[in-house]
Amino acid sequence: MGEATREAFGQALVALADRFPELVVLDSDLSKSTMTAEFAKRHPARHFDLGIAESNMIGAAAGLALSGKIPVATSFACFLVGRLETIRVAVTLNRANVKLVGTHAGLGIGDDGASQMGLEDLAAMRALPGMTILQPGDGLETRQAVEWMLGHQGPVYLRLTRQKLDDAHRPDYQFACGKADVVWLPEPLPKNFQATVFASGGTVGGAIAAAKGLLPKGFAVRVVNVGTIAPFDVDAVEDCAKDSARLVTVEDHNIVGGLGSAVCEAAAMLGLAKPVVALGVREMGESGTPAELYERHGLSAPHIMAACIKNLA
């Protein structure tokens, strides 16, 4: 196993602190979980713990941004999106250069259960004009995404996992905002694919495992990592639809409003005559291990394999 994307985020903040002197970090009593504690320890004057008061933290971040700082405000994904009204006005309407970092995304938080699971955050954030949404699929991508985010002028939502993720990228990977990237291709390269699977964050590893599992069964499947949810890479959908019999999406998020919706919207707008099989969470979450929950809620490799090959009558 590799590392949790929240861990890579915490390390990146420390590594980039000197390069971005205007960087400040805001927390709401979860710095040990969102992995900002090390930054806080090393740069106490640039760290503000606002206590268990996320709305105020987000508003304060907007004020800092309007005064030229680069504020990174963190909490669990669910607690950030719960303050959508403050994000909508203080951040979005102000076009404030605020970086919101929601960790413990989705079912992947595991045994803490439903109230701690951010499963609606992508849907809400996608509805905010000007909000860039990043969901890296491994530690390497996270480090580069954080660096890009700090240099970018404008609001960003970075969605991170509690659970450790396998490395999805080769060491020479280069992050590009707004670009989906292929993380798995069968060899030899087929002329046509049974499916292209679009995955993001916590589901990328399962998608690659599914593609590997289908190869000996004679099914060629490509896996695309969608590291940027907004602006969405419509071209990637168009390109992959050309040589794939179907598109499959898999996300640790409610089935409404996230990656699956983005792919369906792109396919419909482009007039692509290709079926989309969307895997996502359809209920409130519950307690369990991440692996158990991914299995129970239809996001695990066996479910992805089935989505790639099941009869679409």
What's the CA gap between 185 and 187, in Å, rounded? Answer: 7
From 7, 54, 120, 141, active-site residue: 54
How many Å separate Cα 306 from the centre of its chain?
23
State which residue, 28 or 135, has the beta carbon closest to another protein.
28
**Contact between 139 and 168 (Cβ < 8 Å):** no
Least distance to another protein, CB of residue 28, Å: 10
State which residue, 39 or 219, has the beta carbon closest to another protein.
39
State which residue, 54 or 121, has the beta carbon closest to another protein.
54
Least distance to another protein, CB of residue 157, Å: 18
φ/ψ of 34, rounded to 5, equals -85, -5
Least distance to another protein, CB of residue 87, Å: 10
DSSP strands (E only) in the chain: 3-4, 23-27, 47-49, 70-76, 99-103, 132-134, 156-159, 164-165, 181-184, 195-199, 221-225, 228-230, 247-254, 276-281
DSSP strands (E only) in 89-189: 99-103, 132-134, 156-159, 164-165, 181-184
Least distance to another protein, CB of residue 73, Å: 10
Say if strands 3-4 and 164-165 run parallel, antiparallel, or are unpaired.
antiparallel
The contact set with another protein (CB under 8 A) reads: 24, 45-46, 48, 50-51, 53, 55-69, 71, 85-86, 88-90, 93-95
Dihedral sign of CA atoms 154, 259, 250, 81 in order: positive
Q: Indicate the burial class of 231 (C-beta count within 10 angstroms; 0-12, 13-18, 19 or more).
A: middle
State which residue, 62 or 109, has the beta carbon closest to another protein.
62
State which residue, 38 or 49, has the beta carbon closest to another protein.
49
Q: 54 an active-site residue?
A: yes
**Contact between 163 and 108 (Cβ < 8 Å):** yes
Least distance to another protein, CB of residue 41, Å: 18
Q: Which residues are catalytic?
A: 54
